[in-house]
């Protein structure tokens, strides 16, 4: 066991925030060489591209999804195979998540297919299985940051965890690079000198490996040439450790040399280190992302400029795993998830107010991280205005911090909406980076609640909670309350009614002044805290209301649905699903526990059509469906296992409803007059989303999915 540093919560947020910043900084010039960047930008010291929102990226997909193996492990100690199963569970089949460059070309793609074929980790990523060239590409370190963040001040543990994680897909220098980066991040929690951080990290990998040789060579160049510039050092790196000297498309060694260069010549400065790393070129988003995590932890939040780096990101971290709801996250959630595991790993209780946040409130907007906004947005129903969101410690409903919302140039009765995006569409992004897909994180039947207060330097305001149904273009408002300046914190709530075919895409606070005496130029100041979603879903997804969004030539999605494998289209108001073998599609929330779900569909062809419940990913959940003339319940635990079956003939072309109820470890499936029940007593899945599947080359037409949550007994 080790002791978590007293300032850990702020630094883990700084590290994860910096990772997202670094990835975004490097993304627009990824794959560019030094000369091209210099020719176009000269000194590149800012984000080179403006995005509506930054879409998903492999460098931020892998770290949080792979870390889940620490929570989901089979035994007392996490193994490489546990991380391998996290990869199988959260990565869609050959789309999204990371680069699918082909077997024997893309390291991660190669290891993923090995795992699917039953080759267990670490053999799945070994040089013996995949050749040294494939095993030593850059991926061994780009997904590794969270193993350092989860072991603060304990670089030995960070290196141990990173070695297991990296071995799923990599070997040799690929593993040693992961160990180096994780150990450096861990050491940065307690060290305050970047060279000590680097030396500590190097002590955990072989002194005679190529990774160590490259890092030491860069440090020696820096130390032996006082007055040299980073550009001088890059010429040395290019000539001695360039891409031409190593096999594959993106070898780890040239890029680790660039990282060492940036940390050496950045002299402990956050901005300089990131900018130098980015201007060197090559795999910029990966290199800057890793270096940024180290520097974020080392330098802390105060070193990360709000206007330059943080505001364009706005605390958002979109992902592109197989579960659509899990792809909508904010940076505080990521930091809190890491921290929750870190305290468990250390055998410690988090301090207040973090104890509750890291428990049941991990998805809530609590604003306890300085500078955080939880990705809240602002829009208005009137003329343009200037609005500012500022994290402040001047007051709080719970904890120590809240969000101050300040807007100018308002008109009487003009409404302002301070909200959380609960669903994303294609038009919310500038590109299709890593093919994200989404399911909502808020549903009809649930409740939105939060707290508001007007400080004594503000003006009396009115407010309420609201949620918007984008399908019917209807906004649901809660009770409208007066917020007097200098008054107490007041709770606002709205219960979203059950809906057929609804889609909630935003929820939060509505604010305005109805006072006709207010002059033009009215200024609004409101403090907001503890925005959260509670309750049980009660809604239906009706596919005649859904759309096929074409993001790019190779990327299209059905709204509200994420795809594991297979082809889907909308045909005459029905979702048509097919696959050459087994295809699966998911929707709903991975956090749902007890519920009844009804799936109305038509068996079009083939023998197997399934309704899916308690889906936790591609290899975890339950399937209740038709297999020939039988109704079957199966458990997916990295392979389907039959739990119960009974006769149930349903001819092709017949419209049928399969209803599945899950309560605790009991499952009941009904199809027409046939009912089937069973208990799962072997590590049952107790929460998860819903979905549909076809198997053995079958097809189906899906009309709707109806979900109603049930209270626990």
Tell me the CATH number at 298: 1.10.4080.10
Look at residue 426 and tell me if it is in a domain. Answer: yes
CB 500 within 8 A of CB 478: no
Look at residue 547 and tell me if it is in a domain. Answer: yes
Sign of the Cα torsion 132, 135, 139, 143 reads negative
Look at residue 338 and tell me if it is in a domain. Answer: no
Q: Across the strands, what pairs with 577? A: 568, 700
Same domain, 483 and 572: no
Same domain, 594 and 669: yes
Same domain, 62 and 200: yes
Which pLDDT score is estimated for 83?
Answer: 98
Same domain, 516 and 547: no
Which pLDDT score is estimated for 442?
Answer: 98
Distance of alpha carbon 586 from its chain centroid, rounded?
Answer: 17
Q: Which of 535, 552, 580 represents a domain boundary (last residue)?
A: 535
CB 571 within 8 A of CB 578: no
Same domain, 227 and 82: yes
Same domain, 482 and 497: yes
Q: Which residues of 15-33 are buried (b: 16+ CB within 10 A; e: fewer)?
A: bbbbbbbbbbbbbbbbebe
Look at residue 647 and tell me if it is in a domain. Answer: yes
238 HSE (CA, 13 A, CB side):
12
In angstroms, rounded to a whole number, what is the distance separating the alpha carbons of residues 172 and 125? Answer: 10
Domain range for 408: 377-535
Helix (H), strand (E), coil (C) string for 271-322: HHHHHHHHHCCCCHHHHHHHHHHHHHHHHCHHHCCHHHHHHHHCCEEECCCC
Look at residue 268 and tell me if it is in a domain. Answer: yes
CB 485 within 8 A of CB 469: no
Look at residue 511 and tell me if it is in a domain. Answer: yes
Same domain, 391 and 487: yes
Q: Which of 501, 535, 569 represents a domain boundary (last residue)?
A: 535
Which pLDDT score is estimated for 399?
Answer: 97
In angstroms, rounded to a whole number, what is the distance separating the alpha carbons of residues 644 and 631? Answer: 8
Same domain, 504 and 602: no
Which pLDDT score is estimated for 515?
Answer: 64
In angstroms, rounded to a whole number, what is the distance separating the alpha carbons of residues 711 and 290? Answer: 44
The beta-strand segments (E) located in 424-554 are: 446-453, 461-469, 474-477, 481-483, 490-495, 499-500, 504-512, 522-535, 538-542, 548-552
CB 326 within 8 A of CB 363: no
Residue ranges in the chain modelled with pLDDT below 50: 517
Look at residue 615 and tell me if it is in a domain. Answer: yes
- Could you give the number of structural domains in the chain? 3
Phi, psi of 329 (to 5 degrees): -135, 160
Which pLDDT score is estimated for 521?
Answer: 58
Look at residue 394 and tell me if it is in a domain. Answer: yes
Same domain, 513 and 546: no
CB 592 within 8 A of CB 679: no
Which pLDDT score is estimated for 530?
Answer: 98
In angstroms, rounded to a whole number, what is the distance separating the alpha carbons of residues 679 and 665? Answer: 6
In angstroms, rounded to a whole number, what is the distance separating the alpha carbons of residues 11 and 1? Answer: 20
CB neighbours (10 Å) of residue 103? 14
Q: Which of 275, 297, 318 represents a domain boundary (last residue)?
A: 318
Same domain, 142 and 290: yes
In angstroms, rounded to a whole number, what is the distance separating the alpha carbons of residues 596 and 448? Answer: 22
Which pLDDT score is estimated for 529?
Answer: 98
Same domain, 498 and 644: no
Does the pTM exceed 0.75?
yes
Which pLDDT score is estimated for 353?
Answer: 92
Helix ranges, 571-664 (H): none
CA distances (Å), origin 307, targets 46, 127, 349: 11, 45, 34
The label of the residue with tokens 């045909």 reads 571
Helix ranges, 486-612 (H): none
In angstroms, rounded to a whole number, what is the distance separating the alpha carbons of residues 399 and 514? Answer: 32
CATH number at residue 625: 2.60.120.560
Same domain, 520 and 552: no
CB 26 within 8 A of CB 403: no
Q: Pairing mode, if any, of strands 567-571 and 674-679?
A: unpaired
Maximum Cα–Cα distance across the chain: 84
CA distances (Å), origin 686, targets 211, 225, 663, 665, 679: 44, 61, 8, 7, 12
CATH number at residue 478: 2.60.120.260
């Amino acid at each position: 066991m080790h002791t978590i540093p007293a300032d850990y919560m702020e630094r883990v947020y700084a590290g994860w925030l910096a990772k997202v910043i670094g990835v975004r900084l490097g993304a627009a010039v990824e794959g560019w060489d030094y000369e091209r960047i210099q020719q176009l930008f000269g000194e590149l010291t800012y984000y080179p591209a403006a995005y509506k929102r930054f879409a998903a990226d492999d460098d931020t997909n892998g770290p949080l999804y792979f870390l889940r193996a620490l929570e989901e492990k089979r035994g007392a100690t996490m193994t490489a195979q546990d991380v391998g199963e996290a990869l199988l569970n959260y990565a869609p089949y050959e789309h999204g998540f990371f680069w699918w460059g082909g077997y024997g070309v893309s390291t991660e793609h190669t290891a993923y297919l090995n795992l699917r074929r039953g080759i267990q980790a670490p053999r799945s990523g070994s040089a013996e299985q995949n050749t040294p060239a494939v095993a030593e590409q850059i991926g061994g370190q780009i997904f590794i940051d969270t193993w350092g963040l989860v072991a603060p001040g304990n670089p030995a543990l960070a290196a141990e965890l990173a070695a297991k994680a990296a071995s799923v897909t990599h070997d040799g220098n690929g593993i040693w690079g992961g160990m180096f980066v994780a150990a450096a991040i861990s050491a940065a929690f307690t060290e305050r000198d970047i060279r000590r951080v680097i030396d500590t990290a190097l002590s955990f990998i072989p002194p005679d490996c190529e990774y160590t040789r490259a890092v030491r060579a860069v440090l020696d160049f820096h130390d032996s040439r006082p007055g040299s510039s980073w550009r001088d050092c890059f010429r040395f790196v290019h000539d001695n450790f360039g891409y031409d000297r190593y096999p594959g498309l993106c070898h780890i060694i040239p890029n680790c040399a660039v990282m060492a260069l940036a940390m050496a010549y950045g002299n402990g400065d956050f901005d300089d280190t990131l900018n130098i790393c980015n201007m060197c070129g090559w795999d910029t988003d990966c290199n800057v992302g890793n270096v940024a995590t180290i520097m974020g932890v080392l330098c802390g939040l105060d070193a990360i400029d709000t206007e330059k780096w943080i505001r364009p990101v706005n605390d958002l971290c979109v992902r592109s795993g197989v579960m659509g709801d899990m792809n909508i996250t904010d940076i505080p959630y990521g930091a809190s998830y890491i921290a929750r595991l870190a305290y468990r790993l250390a055998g410690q209780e988090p301090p207040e107010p973090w104890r509750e946040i890291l428990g049941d409130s991990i998805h809530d907007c609590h604003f306890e991280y300085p500078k955080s906004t939880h990705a809240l947005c602002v829009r208005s129903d009137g003329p343009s205005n200037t609005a500012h969101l500022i994290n402040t410690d001047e007051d709080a409903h719970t904890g120590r911090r809240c969000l101050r919302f300040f807007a100018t140039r308002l008109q009487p009765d003009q409404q302002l909406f301070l909200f959380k995006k609960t669903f994303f569409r294609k038009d919310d992004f500038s590109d299709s980076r890593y093919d994200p897909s989404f399911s909502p994180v808020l549903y009809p039947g649930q409740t939105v609640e939060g707290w508001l207060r007007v400080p004594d330097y503000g003006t009396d305001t009115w407010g309420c909670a609201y949620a918007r149904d984008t399908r019917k273009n209807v906004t649901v408002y809660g009770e409208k309350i007066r917020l007097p300046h200098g008054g107490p914190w007041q709770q606002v709530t709205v219960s979203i009614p059950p809906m057929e075919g609804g889609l909630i895409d935003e929820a939060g606070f509505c604010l305005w002044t109805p006072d006709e005496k207010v002059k033009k130029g009215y200024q609004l100041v409101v403090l907001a805290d503890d925005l959260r979603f509670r309750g049980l879903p009660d809604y239906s997804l009706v596919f005649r209301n859904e759309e096929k969004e074409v993001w790019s030539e190779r990327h299209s999605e059905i709204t509200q649905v994420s795809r594991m494998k297979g082809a889907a289209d909308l045909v005459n108001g029905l979702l048509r699903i097919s696959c050459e073998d087994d295809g699966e599609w998911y929707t709903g929330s991975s956090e749902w526990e007890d519920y009844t779900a009804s799936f109305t569909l038509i068996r079009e062809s083939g023998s197997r059509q399934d309704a899916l419940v308690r889906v936790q990913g591609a290899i975890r959940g339950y399937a209740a469906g038709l297999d020939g003339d039988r109704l079957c319940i199966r458990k997916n635990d990295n392979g389907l296992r039959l739990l119960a079956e009974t006769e149930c003939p349903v001819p092709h072309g017949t419209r049928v409803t399969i209803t599945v109820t899950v309560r605790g470890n009991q499952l009941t499936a009904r199809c027409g007059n046939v009912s089937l029940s069973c208990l799962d007593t072997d590590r049952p899945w107790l929460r998860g989303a819903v979905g549909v599947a076809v198997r053995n080359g079958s097809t189906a037409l899906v009309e709707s999915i109806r979900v109603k949550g049930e209270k626990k007994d």
